[in-house]
């Protein structure tokens, strides 16, 4: 069993700063939640360099909540993928899909964008960049994107390393347009006092002022990245018995049954987290925790962005690229020869091979290291 700690790697040599002063900028990162979070430092850097520019972000509906009320955005343009796909499947609703696409294109073209950054690198995002009519459409070179999206960009950037953390790679896409002093690795989320007050009230009403509070988030978008429920249950008991932690099982849409199953398998009966109305409420809840234990997921990146120490369990995906970027964190994975594969295996042996005791060890190390710092 190996435990890794991510390292910050940034090296910039801007060449185009001063050649353009954009009045409007388009950011395209459609999904997923974790990838949107890891694009936020690029947004912050662009805003710091161009404080008066109108900045629009195109995102799909499922991931749009993380951008709600963001202070650095002038507009969030939601691409209603779910409704469009649902309408296209029904011939009787085909006109609805056409109307949604026309409305989206109308809003997209209502602003003349001087720069369009395609962080996503798929056919759909490339088409959106092209249809924006921006004269400068920046994306990654062939070999670093999918579905021939490079056909739709006219300034193509080659990442310095194929194994870069996604945050660094995203910053490399904008580095030619940003002064070195305005490049930042820190994210910014639109979490408000209202979000924090709701999270604090829930914790206070359920647990009082108890500490330490550890969030355990089992949910993830792909079954391949899931850790067995019984392993999560055993870990919850170990965190309580060995570290004296109060464990809270956090969850998102469609995950309530899963956390209830985990709780039923425990002896210590951890608290099931509140139903959050937005991703920012989840962010506020994670911010209150002294640690988060999770798998490779969007909430993993949210917790990391909020400054919560994260222990992340990895299996098929590459931790060099996908680990929680903001320290402190620990990555735990099994030593299997097929890692990383990012394939849909019938049995995710790499996840099953990670034992609760291994995760507890990483959590204990991080807990001892970080708790004195967070209590100051």
pLDDT given at position 337: 81
- Domain end point (choices 138, 153, 182): 182
Strand partners, 56: 26, 75
In a domain, 147, yes or no: yes
d(CA 63, CA 151): 26
Residues sharing a CB contact under 8 Å with residue 150, sequence separation 6 or more, in sequence order: 121, 126, 139, 140, 141, 142, 156
Q: How far is CA 262 from CA 37, 96, 195, in A?
A: 27, 41, 27
DSSP per-residue codes, 103-157: HHHHHHTTS--SEEEE-S-SHHHHHHHHHTT-SEEEEEPTTSSSTTGGGG-SEEE
Same domain, 125 and 262: no
- Domain end point (choices 115, 148, 182): 182
Same domain, 175 and 33: yes
pLDDT given at position 20: 65
| C-beta separation of 140 from 119 below 8 A | no
Same domain, 145 and 241: no
Same domain, 26 and 129: yes
Same domain, 216 and 144: no
pLDDT given at position 370: 75
Same domain, 213 and 177: no
Q: Is 296 helix (H, G, I), strand (E, B) or coil?
A: coil
d(CA 223, CA 256): 16
Same domain, 260 and 353: yes
Same domain, 72 and 173: yes
Number of domains in the chain: 2
Same domain, 235 and 350: yes
DSSP per-residue codes, 204-266: HHHHTT-S-EEEEE---SSGGGPPPHHHHHHHHHHHHHHH-PEEEE---TT-HHHHHHHHHT-
Same domain, 175 and 245: no
pLDDT given at position 16: 55
In a domain, 187, yes or no: no
Q: Report the predicted TM-score, pTM, of the whole model to 2 decimal places.
A: 0.91
Strand partners, 293: 216, 311
In a domain, 188, yes or no: no
In a domain, 219, yes or no: yes
pLDDT given at position 21: 87
Give the containing element (helix H, strand E) for 174. helix 166-174
Same domain, 146 and 220: no
| C-beta separation of 170 from 119 below 8 A | yes
Residue range of the domain that includes 26: 2-182
> Does residue 328 have a cis peptide bond before it, meaning omega lies within 30 degrees of 0?
yes
CA proximity to 212, closest of 188, 245, 243, 180: 245
What CATH number does residue 265 fall under?
A: 3.40.50.2000
pLDDT tens, N- to C-terminus, the chain (376 residues):
333 233 333 444 445 545 668 999 999 999 999 999 999 999 999 999 999 999 999 999 999 999 999 999 999 999 999 899 889 888 889 999 999 999 999 999 999 999 999 999 999 999 999 999 999 999 999 999 999 999 999 999 999 998 999 999 999 999 999 887 777 888 889 999 999 999 999 999 999 887 799 999 999 988 889 999 999 999 999 999 999 999 999 999 999 999 999 999 999 999 999 999 899 999 999 999 999 999 999 999 999 999 999 999 999 999 999 999 998 999 999 988 888 886 767 667 899 999 999 999 999 999 888 765 555 4
Same domain, 23 and 171: yes
Q: How far is CA 187 from CA 2, 61, 121, 285, 351, in A?
A: 28, 21, 21, 17, 29
Give the containing element (helix H, strand E) for 358. helix 356-374
């Amino acid at each position: 069993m190996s435990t890794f700690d991510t390292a910050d790697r940034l090296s910039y040599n801007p060449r185009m700063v001063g050649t353009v002063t954009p009045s409007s900028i388009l950011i395209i990162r459609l999904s997923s939640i974790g990838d949107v979070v890891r694009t936020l430092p690029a947004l912050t850097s662009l805003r710091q360099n161009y404080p008066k520019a109108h900045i629009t972000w195109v995102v799909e509906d499922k991931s749009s909540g993380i951008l709600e009320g963001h202070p650095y955005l002038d507009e969030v343009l939601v691409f209603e993928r779910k409704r469009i796909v649902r309408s296209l499947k029904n011939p009787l609703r085909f006109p609805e899909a056409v109307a949604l696409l026309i409305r989206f294109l109308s809003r997209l073209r209502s602003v003349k964008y001087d720069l369009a950054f395609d962080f996503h690198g798929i056919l759909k995002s490339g088409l959106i960049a092209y249809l924006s009519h921006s004269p400068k459409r920046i994306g990654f070179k062939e070999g670093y994107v999918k579905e021939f999206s490079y056909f739709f960009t006219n300034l193509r950037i080659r990442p310095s390393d194929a194994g870069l953390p996604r945050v660094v790679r995203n910053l490399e896409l904008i580095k030619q347009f940003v002064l070195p002093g305005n490049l930042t690795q820190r994210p910014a989320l639109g979490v408000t006092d209202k979000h924090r007050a709701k999270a604090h009230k829930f914790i206070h009403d359920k647990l009082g002022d108890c500490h330490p509070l550890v969030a355990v988030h089992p949910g993830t978008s792909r079954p391949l990245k899931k850790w067995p429920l019984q392993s999560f249950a055993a870990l919850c008991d170990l965190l309580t018995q060995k570290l004296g932690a109060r464990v809270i099982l956090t969850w998102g849409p469609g995950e309530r049954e899963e956390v209830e199953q985990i709780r039923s398998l425990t002896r210590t009966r951890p608290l099931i987290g509140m139903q959050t109305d937005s991703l920012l409420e989840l962010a506020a809840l994670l911010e209150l925790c002294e640690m988060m234990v999770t798998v490779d997921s969007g909430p993993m990146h949210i917790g990391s962005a909020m400054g919560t120490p994260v222990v992340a369990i990895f299996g098929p995906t590459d931790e060099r690229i996908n680990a929680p970027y903001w320290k402190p964190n620990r990555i735990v994975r099994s030593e299997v020869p097929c890692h990383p594969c990012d394939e849909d295996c019938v049995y995710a042996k790499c996840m099953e091979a990670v034992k609760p005791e291994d995760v507890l060890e990483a959590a204990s190390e991080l807990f001892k290291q970080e708790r004195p710092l967070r209590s100051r």
